[in-house]
Chains A and B, each alone.
Chain A
């Protein structure tokens, strides 16, 4: 998509990511998606009178890991209360960070070599989740509203980019790279569809060289694709407005995925007044240098570096392979791909199999097992289908690929059944057999090919030749 000549879009993204801690941000309740409603709650995350928050150290570590990965400065920080009434926010204020965030002034380099500034990445708590019954499914006009507080108090990091983004594709690349970093640092699982990573886009347009225009904030962007579509739609809408002599109102807009449009959610007449003040129930957070250093040394290589290392092995990649690279990096399987290539596996095969066949909650598949399976496939000892089945088994239970193949009857045929197959083939091709027997060695490959065909690749070529030689006497 391109805007009309002379127009430029200015985009900044606010990304909320739920941290993958075992417990919530201020209490000992489990931080777990999908549990029955209101089963992970206590006086603290229900905001009951008299309850007090106690900060989860692990949440701080994950926030610092994100900050370090985004080249932010980690500074002594303060928690503030953001005051507003909402039924899914049990204290009617949110504990967040305001003028002293834990991470500030970083940047993120994208795959296209552009750089997007990071203004801040601060800690805050999530709210509960409302379900509105009847009416439009939104709060207003609903007959009844139910609130699930399992999510209340789940730790979040809000990552605010500078308004450095100039295209929807760049916005997508930013969100995608950020997601890879969140996953790589172990801070989040980055699942947009489950809401563990939520993206809001601030979009404005201007004629090149002019000051920033009025921005609109777009919410409900549940995938990278909606993010890109919504930004394009919104920028075009704003350009059309201005070109027809109207003005852009500052407002929050909702992305309607089905209709492919953004629509007014609420108009901001003036800045919201959240009456921020320092949270008196928490003390200031001042991670000492050794703690920061511990978090820093716990960070593995970041996605960009790992991607470069992977691409160095794989070489030129197609468009389709680019997705495979992203999947492999997000899933942390780049090391097995690199290892397999080093052990002689075809790069394209290693990439494809790692991207598509290793999905599992089970043990990580070792480089050796992965490489050995693919080498068996390359040697023709396993068919593609069999190779995938072995990989699936490895991803589920681990083990030795040869043993798995044997157990499932994939291993090359036993000499008895190989002999029987060979005899059959010889019977069917008496002329060729005679010529071979009379010394035409070239025909050995002819028989190997037929046996392979008959056994659908399970036979071992060397064994076939040995059997042939034995029969020639």
Chain B
């Protein structure tokens, strides 16, 4: 498979065409989508039109963007004008947004061809795609196992070579965890680096859109396109998009990298071994490795499962049957709201709405939500202290490799633990990357995670590239 960068170059230079690249993607989707349930909707007509526009621009000799003719899969919580957008929930059935998410406008402006919407855990609440109302996605590397989640569809699309690039969203690990389980690269950018306008919110203070790709270079390419200030998102950072590809080969010479005990403890032995080996590779490449303990990270999971549901309980209130999506009629408005939400939301979404409503309620706020905010502040300070000592942190992305369907659905807590290593980055609003490195149980890929302070994406990508090269990937 050629990289996204190579595809764009071929399209720009006439060695290929957007139309041809699209047909390659569509035939790969046709070949395995029934089996894997990756795409909930494939927009063939819209994609053909977009590809045709790129090809016409190339024919006219116009400048085309860095993603000219590259097919991209979109997580189905990103609004695309006129295209069904479901968040894998019955409650949004039939809704077609009248507007584009900012990232989609930027993709199209860069010449990319959006091909369709990928499956996710309902409203991005889950780590396996098993909470999707439209059935789980299967891991392309082992269809008896989950692809991870919530961006499982987007990760599977890339891992199954359906599209070279996909967009996901990461609230507590939803890009990095499926990237790890599917053996690809996933980046959770600094909070505010990528506009959230048009991303259907799960937990607004934690959500961030980011790239999934086969290589670090492709992740850098996609992130450069979607990053940068957006006046429609008040939490968007004021700076323009950072230059990432220029720093891909910066290496790690002289970098101090902390190996964090709390981001390894409890992981499978093969996962631990992969992290150890990654540390060795980075040391060999010139980095200074420092063992670190950041005990506050252990509190992340508890704080997250109060903050994220609290925000979600408010964000998901609007799905009330009044204006769009599902409506189950009843005698009065309140009964209609209740009947609609009862029928429209799945069990995990209901669980989190109840949890969040409770955490914000009078009399409980201080003990739960208020306390979680304090922990969040402590976590931010703990990271800040760590980054006074080191430039980056290293750990595992997830405790295990891809797990079999149903193995964690009975006990929500065991599922929540899939994100124990990824959550702290979201709470702190910082950046992290998961890079496939080594294999674990059943020969399935392991992801190692590099974490950095806000706006450290260039450094993270360069370090990830060192690991990728050591694994013999170009």
Contacts and interface: CB of A to CB of B under 8 A. Distances in A.
Contact of B200 (A49, A87, A280): A49
Q: Chain B, interface size: which category?
A: 35 or more
Interface in B192-209: 196-201, 203-205
B334 interface: yes
B239 interface: no
Interface in A15-62: 43, 46-55
A219 interface: no
Contact of B333 (A43, A50, A87): A87
B360 interface: yes
A147 B322 contact: yes
A92 B317 contact: yes
A273 interface: yes
Nearest to B319: A49
Q: Label chain A's interface by main secondary structure.
A: loop
B333 A145 contact: yes
Given A91-B318, A275-B314, 11 more contacts: A48-B79, A54-B231, A54-B233, A81-B314, A83-B313, A83-B360, A271-B362, A280-B204, A281-B201, A281-B235, A282-B235
A277 interface: yes
6 contacts: A50-B77, A83-B314, A145-B333, A275-B361, A283-B234, A283-B235
Nearest to B325: A49
B324 interface: yes
B318 A49 contact: yes
A341 B333 CA distance: 61
Given A43-B99, A83-B314, A281 B200 contact: no
B311 A280 contact: yes
Contact of A277 (B95, B200, B360): B360
Interface in B310-344: 310-311, 313-314, 317-320, 322-324, 332-334, 337
Interface in B427-472: none
Nearest to B322: A87
A139 B335 CA distance: 13
A280 B85 contact: no
B212 interface: no
A130 to B, nearest CB: 10
B357 interface: yes
B97 interface: yes
Interface string A267-281: 000010101110011
Contacts of A280: 203-205, 235, 311
A50 B234 contact: no
Nearest to A54: B234
A83 B358 CA distance: 13
A139 B322 CA distance: 14
Contacts of A140: 332
Contact of B360 (A47, A85, A275): A275
A53 B334 CA distance: 26
B314 A282 contact: no
A145 B331 CA distance: 12
A138 to B, nearest CB: 11
Interface string B342-365: 000000000000000100111001
A47 B98 contact: no
Interface string B232-275: 11110000000000000000000000000000000000000000
A7 interface: no
A46 B323 contact: yes
B102 to A, nearest CB: 10
A83 B199 CA distance: 21
Given A55-B234, A147-B322, A280-B204, A85 B98 contact: no
Contacts of A91: 317-318
B187 interface: no
Most chain B beta-carbon contacts within 10 A, residue among A47, A55, A85, A147: A85
